[in-house]
A = this chain, B = another copy of it.
Amino acid sequence: MTRAPKPPASKAAPRRRGASPEKTAATRRALSRAALDIFLERGFSATRMSDVATRAGLAKGTIYLHFTDKAALFEDVLREVMRDTLAGRPMQRPRRDETTRAFLQRVVVPVLRELQASGRFGVVRLVMAEGPHFPELAAVYRRVAIEPVLRWVRLIAARASARGELRSDALSRLPMLLVAPAVMAALWNGLYSATEPLDVASVFDTFLELLFVAPPPGRPRAARG
């Protein structure tokens, strides 16, 4: 036994020598951010690893200490951005006295606004564009992003149908119909934001106008007048 018995350090951790884990994590995060930006700007294949590194203020080789290859970087980055985007976003329920339309306006519209402001909608485009070449990524996207939303829509749709706010139960059967306008607006912006940007939240709101029956009169809360 060659190691002299060290007195127990103040911290519980074994106190490794060399760089700290925090620094490592920070580096990874910097790469992740840089990569996301450039992937969003140019797509997968037009993104050069060296540009990612440069934008992160690091050297090319450093990327490979944190991600096995370009595809892994891509998947990792998107997985994480999905997680971050969804994290801490409770799937809220309507209040008892609230119309479903009012509820959606209250809850969904701000989220859409925020997603658009932060550029996060680009992720949708990216997954759409590159998904076919990254089946695992597409599957993850579906599992962590799509399915939860669809489940939630189903609940809301069921309530709306029960309350007579929808004309049919179609939305319960195909919950993605509720999402379609927002998705489409996001994709539109991918192509035409320069000349004719769409406000995703407004598009969604307008869609609600088309969808929902005015609440039946005589109900105390949804009163029109």
Contacts and interface: CB of A to CB of B under 8 A. Distances in A.
Contacts of A94: none
B173 A206 contact: yes
Interface stretch (A73-81, A111-119, A184-192, A216-224): A184-192
Interface stretch (A5-13, A41-49, A84-92, A102-110): A41-49
Residue among A141, A194, A206 with the highest chain B CB neighbour number at 10 A: A206
A127 B176 contact: no
B45 A190 contact: no
Nearest to A43: B133
Nearest to A22: B2
A206 B167 CA distance: 12
A25 B23 CA distance: 33
Contacts of A183: 180, 184, 187
Interface residues of A, number: 52
B192 A142 contact: yes
A179 to B, nearest CB: 7
Given A176-B184, A183-B184, A191-B142, A128 B129 contact: yes
A192 B42 contact: no
Contacts of A170: 206-207, 209-210
Interface string A124-136: 0101111111010
B203 A174 contact: yes
Contacts of A174: 181, 203, 206-207
